[in-house]
Amino acid sequence: MIRTVESEHHMSPQVLAAYSYCETVTGHQARNFAYGIRLLPTPKRRAMSALYALSRRVDDIGDGTLPTDVKAERLEETRTLLGRVGDGKVAEDDTDPVAVALAHASRVFPIPLGGLDELIDGVLMDVRGETYESWDDLKVYCRCVAGAIGRLSLGVFGTEPGARGAERAPEYADTLGLALQLTNILRDIREDAGNGRVYLPADDLAKFGCSAGFHGPTPPEGSDFAGLVHFEVRRARALFAEGYRLLPLLDRRSGACVAAMAGIYRRLLDRIEREPEAVLRGRVSLPGREKAYVAMRGLSGLDTRTVSRQTVRRRA
């Protein structure tokens, strides 16, 4: 639930400028995300942009070219900044616009800022070059870098008053984050391999003969790469099915935002399933017109109504 509603007339110029900066960052660097949040009312859209801008900063530190120890230091500095935000110690005339916007958003919405600490923990895993033996191990990482974002976003969205099962909304938001992250991992297999990162569980790679890794536009010799991709796609689809149970718990525009963002990734998953080796040749993406269609589908409430009917049948 929104704690207060502040119009532009009552918002300081510094806060408005800070939000404008965060929205610019989001529009330039997060195309899929931006398609979803444009469906939100202005206060929620701004708050989501502030969350994205801070998350982008954390990701950029982890993905940058700085030495490992410097990356770790910068991430801990960001954690300290989050502590200042949470303690209400960021002034509106602070020189960091992301901190100003996030501080304001956290006063307006019940955002669980600890989720950003989890994001930092996940990026530190990247910095240390951790790999994952099993899906259970990978889930820990995915919950940090994506499930936490789902729970943070839920703090902005809120749930519909009286929505049945609303107590499970954080669980569904977390699971939907896992679905999106696993889709990202499949999409970025080649790019991540080029950066020395392997995310898919070692158990799965071994099962399908892919332990040698992905270093070119073709699968490892003798491997069942398509089998590996289809196996992970099924896992992602199960996560999407569970996470989509969040939709009926949200108001119409928040539900449309989530349906749009998740819908884009589900369509990416469809493309990857149809042509698994495409992810070894380059990044699979959707054209703008298809993203716009997904956004309109979300705004229509079609996905929400479908999930609601399925939920009713489960209860019957």
Reported as a single tens digit per residue, the pLDDT across 203-236 is 999 999 999 999 889 999 999 999 999 999 999 9
**Could you tell me if 174 and 271 lie in one domain?**
yes
Distance CA 17, CA 98 (A): 10
Provide the terminal-to-terminal Cα distance of the chain, rounded to the nearest Å.
30
Do residues 308 and 166 share a domain?
yes
Retrieve residue 5's tokens.
């509603």
Tens of pLDDT along 57-91? 999 999 999 999 999 999 999 999 999 999 999 99
Is 163 in the same domain as 295?
Answer: yes
DSSP secondary-structure letter at 248?
G
Q: Give the pLDDT of residue 116.
A: 97
Give me the pLDDT at residue 296, please: 72
- The b-or-e profile of 106-128 (16+ CB within 10 A means b, else e) is bebbebebebbbbbbbbbbbbbe
- Residue 316 binned pLDDT confidence (cut-offs 50, 70, 90): very low
Are 104 and 148 found together in one domain?
A: no
- Nearest to residue 250, comparing CAs of 103, 36, 69? 36
Domain assignment of residue 117, yes or no: no
Closest to 307 measured CA to CA, from 258, 236, 235, 234:
258
Quick one: pLDDT band at residue 299, thresholds 50, 70, 90?
low
Residue 283 pLDDT: 84
DSSP per-residue string spanning 108-128: HS---THHHHHHHHHHHHHHT
Let me know whether 246 and 284 are in one domain.
Answer: yes
Is the pLDDT at 19 greater than 90? The verdict is yes
pLDDT at 70: 98
CB 62 within 8 Å of CB 130: no
155 and 241 housed in the same domain:
yes
Mark 279-304 as b/e (b = at least 16 C-beta within 10 Å): bbeeebebeeeebebbbeebbebebb
Residue 89 lies in a domain: yes
Q: Identify which of 194-198, 300-304, 309-313 has the greatest average pLDDT.
A: 194-198
Q: How many CB atoms lie within 10 A of CB 143?
A: 22
Same domain, 135 and 260: yes
Per-residue pLDDT band for 31 (boundaries 50, 70, 90) equals: low
**Domain shared by 169 and 42, yes or no:** no
Q: For residues 210 and 90, state if they share a domain.
A: no
Mean pLDDT value across the chain: 90
Nearest alpha carbon to residue 103 among 172, 141, 139, 50: 50
Domain range enclosing 99: 12-109
Report how many domains make up the chain. 2
